[in-house]
Structure 1
């Protein structure tokens, strides 16, 4: 971001993100963005932070991509603020039409993401949005997937970053996070 986010809004946002130990499996501390939407002040703070962030990118990107599913809460809004298209990146088998697909490795197994082939054009500059970066796997895979379409990922944006997992170091594009845990 070219301007520093409002620290009061960031504090309000962080204070309203609930943490759930041992979810979805033992040893994981799950950070829940949905709890923000249950508090009107926190939700408005998030809205304001998203708008400020989006406006800082004016003229720098042509299309917003967001990763299933929580990225869909923020990507369309950022696209609307900027007056540019929004395109979803989804799990295998969820998108109609011709899709570009990428299978990628996880700690234990593999996953697959898809984007509609006409979702991005060669030479477009893109932003990828998600709610959280942990190990960086889905953001890295999304960058690789868009590269197959000839789309340049200018930046990746997340609400929360689990900084001790160093996920941003795996991502081949710049990563911006509002909150670090």
Structure 2
């Protein structure tokens, strides 16, 4: 190989490496955007009063955001942390940030749930007990329910939110109470989910 050909080959290799490196940087800079949105669990004043009389408190854990209104009741907003869902077709799963702490102030017993999620397959809000690995169905959206889609954003609004039979049994056992019942009305539920790119 002549000296000129060797120089041209080396130059070509350098250009190829530079282009490959640049495109690698471009791919790293344009990582897919994560989904966004939030789920809001609203506890009405009736449920709040009944649970308080029985010494029961439910506290949202970070990164959930609590809010309270004397007339409307208590709400907790859980940010969307991942997932893929098709609400109108009833399939998929939305992972939520934050957690839930249930406390029985009379007995000192507690239950903590992490890895909260909403499953469109089963239409349930679930959580994994802090000392377990399998999700427990906690709450079920019910009543007048509206599902909408606009572009990449989907919304769900349920006028009623009920305690799931599995969640009632699990939490009652952990807190040493018999307060929670299957179908017990807690308040209402809403979810907004915008798909990532």
TM-score under structure 2 length normalisation: 0.25
Q: Which has the higher strand share?
A: 2
Greater relative contact order (CA < 8 Å, ≥ 6 in sequence)? 2
TM-score with structure 1 setting the length: 0.26
Q: Which has the larger radius of gyration?
A: 2
Higher helix share: 1
